[in-house]
Amino acid sequence: FSKLLCEHSRQRLHVVAKFPVLSQLLPVVVTVLLTLAAAYYIYIPLPDAIQEPWKLMLLDAGFRATMKVVRNLRWLGLGHFIEAIRSSTENMENLGEVLVGSESGWGVKPGVRVSDTTFDGVPVRVYEPPAGGEGHLRRAVMFFHGGGWALGSAKKGSYDAITQLMSDELDAVVVSVEYRMYPEVLFPQPYLDCLSAAKHFLSQEVLVRYSVDPERVAVSGDSAGGNLAAAIAQQISTDDSMSRKFSVQALIYPVLQALDFNTPSYEQNQGVPILYRTLMIQFWLQYLGADPSLLPQLLANNHSSLHQSAITPELRARVDWTVLLPPKYKKNHKPVVVETGLEGLVKEVPGLLDVRAAPLLAGPEILAKCPRAYILTCEYDVLRDDGFMYARRLQDAGVTVTSDHYDDGFHGCLSFSFWPTHFDVGKRALRGYFSWLQKNL
């Protein structure tokens, strides 16, 4: 066999030597094949309304490749997969900062003073604009970053850029909270970290220290951070021991409920990056400390079957998209209501019904006390309907709500507002968000 193999190789080399054009074509053929393979991996069908589709495909391909590597690392027992994703994400952000030419973060504003401290033991990063005249009080924003309660950082990448820019443009003190995340902690610890930091910031002593107008303090966040912002706004609004409260809440594509993963937006956008439906369910299971193998059950809404006695008709009405959604978004979708599902799951995972984890489940008496709201939603986002339903329920409770919807938006687009991963819709969303805060805070 070895002799035959050597003879075959000798004959091939003889042919290539005899026909030199083949040796010239070989690199071209290999390059074309590799290009086709890469294009096949990168390409996924996207809605026509999404602009710059190839840029989104490339970002998604990078994320999918990272996930595959992470799964292999987990299979080999080389560390926790979330830690591997964090490391990979940080490396990408560091590369972005090098490309931009900044050593301390994207979009650095020289006049903004940045300091790291703790509020009641919780790490926070504080952004202060240039000092004004004596007695000059500023507005303030407390911000919670997204990332599925597992990823992201107040101190790195796009979040650092957004909050610095916010401080500069709004002449505001911005506090970005570095709450603990999965797998280090589970619910309710991230919520409790944010609540402790919020109460500390709203104290008279701290507001005076940072020259903040107590009547102009916002709470805000995106995605999982929007979840935390909504939950904190509810708690602070109903806490009679708090003399100072948030004046507005600004929620960016917030995640607000875990009872129905078959809303029209979950079905329509289940395969749209960067937040797939299965990934959002995985984030929920991690956050609530539930068994990851339950994902198919939640995907089918078996966890919220009619036999779950803990889910009362009143609770179901609070996530009933057939009533709460604007007609144009219902289309031909039908509610997925399961008669008999996985019994006892709600008792096993009580966080599913805890308003601190699922703010959409709060009663009207709670919502009525909440501050006026800004809710940004994107058409191609599984969380679109969570935002729509919360806006409707707040309005029904008498709260003034500004709904800002982007027909060409996708989940996470606000974070893609800076070069080299900027999208036009991300820049427009960031402008709209800042503009609302400028006028209403």
Catalytic residues: 223, 381, 411
The pair of structure tokens assigned to 188 is 């309710």
Q: Maximum distance among all alpha carbons in the chain? A: 92
Helix, strand or coil, per DSSP, at residue 270? coil
Contact 265, 385 (CB under 8 A): yes
Cα radius of gyration (the chain) = 25
Question: What are phi and psi for residue 379, nearest 5 degrees?
Answer: -60, -40
The DSSP output letter for 76 is T
> Chain-centre distance of CA 266, in angstroms?
15
| Residues whose CB falls within 8 Å of the CB of residue 264, separated by 6 or more in sequence, listed in order | 321, 325, 329, 330, 331, 333, 385
CA distance 374 to 14: 73
Helix (H) or strand (E) holding 8: helix 2-18
Sign (positive/negative) of CA torsion 328, 333, 334, 335?
A: negative
Q: How many residues does the chain have?
A: 441
- Strand segments, DSSP code E, in 70-164 are 113-119, 122-128, 138-144
Give the list of residues 6+ apart from residue 38 with CB closer than 8 angstroms, or none. Answer: none
What is the distance between the alpha carbons of residues 29 and 41, in angstroms, rounded to a whole number?
Answer: 18
In 304-359, which residue ranges form alpha helices assigned H by DSSP?
313-317, 321-324, 327-330, 345-348
Q: How far apart are CA 407 and CA 71, in angstroms?
A: 34
Buried b (16+ CB within 10 A) or exposed e, 20-38: eeeeeeeeeeeeeeeeeee
Contacts for 132 with CB less than 8 Å, ≥ 6 apart: 138, 171, 211
Token digits for 369? 């006390």
- My answer on whether omega of the bond before 27 falls inside 30° of 0, hence cis, is no
